[in-house]
C-alpha cells in the first residue's frame, strides 16, 4: 500500500473519521462507483473501498468461485447464486487517510477533488436496487406456517435441519442517514463485522454480523461453528443453560465443518472448546477452528466451494435444504446469508456471513432474519427468536430517526 502523492486537504467541517468516511461514501455514489465501508472487529478500525472499474459483467461480477490467489479487494456474494461481486482495491480509506493501491486511472483526481470539498450529508444518497425483488413482509402467522412446514419436512427424515428466514419491512423518513447508522452500529456492536455496501444495480445493504465465514492471517485459516440462540439476560456465561435443540443444532454445524476439512485432506486442523458468546442482545454457542498451510490461499479457494452455505444459514444436508428453501420461502434472500468482506487486503482476509442485515430501498428498508429449525423446534419460539435478532438493527435505527 502506498500513500497518495496528493493528500486531500481536509476542510474544517471534515475533522472526524465519520466525516471522512461519509465524504468517501458519497463521492463514490456520485461517481457511480461501487463502495463498501466496514469495521473490522479484529482491528477495531473502520475502512472504505471503491473501484474505478465498477461492477461490470467483464470485471466485477465473477460467476466462478472466489480465487484467493488472484483477487485483492472486497467481495459481496449472495446466498443462492454462485457469483461474487468484487470491488477491486483501487482506492482505500482508513483512519489515517486515503490510499491509492491499484490504479493510475485519470478519474482519481476528479474523485479527490470532490472528496476534498467535504459533503456534510448522506441522507438518501445510496444506490437503489434496480431489479424487481420480492418485498414480502412476513407476519407472525406466515412465518409460523413456514417453520411448521420445515418441521414436518424434517420429520420425514429427508433433512436434519433447515434454516428458515423472513423479512421485516420498516419505514424510513427523511432524517435517515445511512453512514450515521453505520457509525452507530460500530459504536454499539464493536465485536461484530459492521458493513455498508452500495453497488449500482444491486442496491445498498447494511449489517452487523457476528459470524466468521473464514479468516486468513499468516498462513492460518480460521473459521467458526456458530448456532443456537437465546436472549441475553445479563447472567455470567458459565450460568447459561442450553437446551437439547440448541446443542444439537450447534453440533450439526461443528460436524459439518470437521468433515469439510477432512474431505480436503486437512486432518490436522485444531478445534477449540465449545463456549457461549454474545452477539448484540442474544447468546450463541461457538466453536473455533484453525488450519495452517504453506499454500493457504489455494486451500481456501477449494474450501469455500464446498463449505458455503453451511448448516448455520442453510440446513443439513445442504442441497436438500436449499431446495426446500427455494420452494417454500416466499422472498428472495439475495445477499442475506451470503458472505462479504476483504480478501488479501492489508495482507489479511476476513470474510463474514451476511447476517443481521437489511437492504435499504427508497423510503423503507427490508430486514432479513432467520433461525435454525430441527424436529424439536417450537414455531412460536422461532418467531420470537427472529424478533430478537431484528432488534440488532432496529435499536440503532429507531434511536437515529
Average pLDDT, the chain: 87
Whether 271 has a pLDDT exceeding 70, the answer reads yes
- Mapped onto helix, strand or coil, the DSSP state of residue 249 is helix
Look at residue 236 and tell me if it is in a domain: yes
Look at residue 152 and tell me if it is in a domain: yes
Q: How many domains does the chain have?
A: 1
Whether 132 has a pLDDT exceeding 70, the answer reads no
Mean local confidence (pLDDT), 284-294: 96
Which residue's C-alpha cell is 435454525? 372
Mean local confidence (pLDDT), 122-128: 77
Share of the chain above pLDDT 90, in %: 60
What pLDDT, on the 0 to 100 scale, is given for residue 9? 38
More confident residue, 131 or 228: 228
**How many angstroms separate the CA atoms of 113 and 121, rounded?**
17
Q: At what angle do helices 140-155 and 379-400 cross, to 10 degrees?
A: 140
What is the domain range of residue 393? 140-173+212-337+361-400
Task: Count CA atoms within 13 Å of residue 300 on its CB side.
Answer: 30
Across 106-200, the runs of DSSP E, i.e. the strands, are: 161-171, 193-199
Cell of 14: 471534515
Cell of 185: 452500529
Whether 59 has a pLDDT exceeding 90, the answer reads no
DSSP letter assigned to residue 64? S
What pLDDT, on the 0 to 100 scale, is given for residue 204? 95
Look at residue 180 and tell me if it is in a domain: no
Whether 162 has a pLDDT exceeding 50, the answer reads yes
Buried b (16+ CB within 10 A) or exposed e, 329-367: bebbbbbbbbbbbbbbbbeebbbbbbbbbbbbbeebbbb
* Band (54; pLDDT cuts 50, 70, 90): confident
Mean local confidence (pLDDT), 49-65: 73
Report pLDDT digits (tens) over 302-330: 999 888 999 999 999 999 999 999 999 99
Cell of 150: 420445515
Distances in Å between the alpha carbon of 290 and those of 99, 160, 257, 376? 32, 26, 11, 31
What pLDDT, on the 0 to 100 scale, is given for residue 130? 65
What pLDDT, on the 0 to 100 scale, is given for residue 4? 45
pTM: 0.91
DSSP notation for 89-114: SSEEEETTEEEE-S---THHHHHHHH
What pLDDT, on the 0 to 100 scale, is given for residue 11? 33
Whether 29 has a pLDDT exceeding 90, the answer reads yes
Whether 123 has a pLDDT exceeding 70, the answer reads no
Contact between 79 and 322 (Cβ < 8 Å): no
Look at residue 169 and tell me if it is in a domain: yes
Cell of 294: 504453506
Question: CB burial class (10 A; 0-12, 13-18, 19+) of residue 154?
Answer: buried
Lowest mean pLDDT among 108-117, 153-162, 354-363: 108-117
Whether 28 has a pLDDT exceeding 90, the answer reads yes
Look at residue 296 and tell me if it is in a domain: yes
Whether 295 has a pLDDT exceeding 60, the answer reads yes
Of 238, 206, 35, 24, the C-alpha closest to 118 is: 24
Cell of 103: 490504479
Of 378, 382, 35, 384, the C-alpha closest to 202 is: 35
Lowest mean pLDDT among 29-33, 136-140, 299-303, 357-361: 136-140
Look at residue 31 and tell me if it is in a domain: no
Mean local confidence (pLDDT), 87-91: 89
- Mapped onto helix, strand or coil, the DSSP state of residue 53 is coil
Look at residue 29 and tell me if it is in a domain: no
Q: In this structure, what are the phi and psi dihedrals at residue 204, rounded to the nearest 5 degrees?
A: -130, 130
Look at residue 354 and tell me if it is in a domain: no
**Domain CATH code at residue 152:** 3.60.120.10
Report pLDDT digits (tens) over 232-257: 888 898 889 999 989 988 999 999 99
Amino acid at each position: 500500500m502506498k500513500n497518495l502523492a496528493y493528500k486531500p486537504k481536509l476542510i474544517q467541517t471534515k475533522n472526524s473519521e465519520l466525516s471522512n468516511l461519509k465524504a468517501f461514501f458519497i463521492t463514490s455514489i456520485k461517481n457511480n462507483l461501487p463502495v463498501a465501508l466496514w469495521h473490522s472487529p479484529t482491528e477495531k478500525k473502520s475502512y472504505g473501498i471503491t473501484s474505478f472499474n465498477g461492477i461490470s459483467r467483464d470485471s466485477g461480477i465473477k460467476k466462478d468461485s472466489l480465487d484467493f490467489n488472484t483477487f485483492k479487494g472486497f467481495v459481496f456474494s449472495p446466498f443462492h447464486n454462485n457469483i461474487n461481486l468484487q470491488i477491486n482495491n483501487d482506492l482505500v480509506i482508513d483512519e489515517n487517510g486515503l490510499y491509492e493501491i491499484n490504479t493510475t486511472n485519470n478519474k482519481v483526481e476528479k474523485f479527490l477533488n470532490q472528496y476534498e470539498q467535504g459533503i456534510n450529508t448522506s441522507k438518501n444518497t445510496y444506490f437503489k436496487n434496480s431489479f424487481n425483488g420480492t418485498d414480502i413482509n412476513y407476519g407472525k402467522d406466515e412465518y409460523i406456517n413456514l417453520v411448521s412446514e420445515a418441521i414436518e419436512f424434517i420429520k420425514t427424515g429427508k433433512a436434519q435441519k433447515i434454516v428458515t428466514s423472513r423479512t421485516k419491512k420498516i419505514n424510513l423518513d427523511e432524517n435517515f442517514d445511512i453512514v450515521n447508522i453505520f457509525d452507530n452500529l460500530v459504536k454499539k456492536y464493536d465485536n461484530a463485522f459492521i458493513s455498508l455496501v452500495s453497488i449500482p444495480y444491486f442496491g445498498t445493504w447494511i449489517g452487523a454480523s457476528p459470524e466468521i465465514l473464514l479468516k486468513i492471517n499468516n498462513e492460518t485459516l480460521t473459521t467458526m461453528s456458530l448456532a443456537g440462540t437465546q436472549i441475553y439476560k445479563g447472567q455470567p456465561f458459565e450460568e447459561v443453560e442450553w437446551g437439547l435443540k440448541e446443542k444439537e443444532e450447534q453440533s450439526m454445524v461443528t460436524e459439518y465443518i470437521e468433515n469439510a476439512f477432512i474431505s480436503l485432506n486437512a486432518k490436522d486442523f485444531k478445534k477449540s472448546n465449545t463456549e457461549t458468546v454474545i452477539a448484540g442482545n442474544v447468546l450463541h454457542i461457538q466453536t473455533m477452528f484453525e488450519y495452517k498451510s504453506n499454500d493457504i490461499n489455494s486451500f481456501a479457494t477449494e474450501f469455500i466451494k464446498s463449505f458455503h452455505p453451511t448448516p448455520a444459514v442453510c440446513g443439513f444436508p445442504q442441497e436438500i435444504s436449499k431446495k426446500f428453501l427455494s420452494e417454500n420461502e416466499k422472498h428472495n434472500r439475495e445477499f442475506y446469508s451470503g458472505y462479504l468482506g476483504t480478501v488479501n487486503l492489508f495482507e489479511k482476509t476476513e470474510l463474514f456471513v451476511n447476517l443481521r442485515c437489511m437492504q435499504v430501498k427508497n423510503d423503507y428498508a427490508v430486514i432479513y432474519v432467520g433461525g435454525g429449525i430441527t424436529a424439536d423446534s417450537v414455531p412460536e419460539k422461532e418467531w420470537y427468536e427472529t424478533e430478537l435478532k431484528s432488534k440488532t438493527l432496529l435499536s440503532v435505527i429507531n434511536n437515529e430517526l
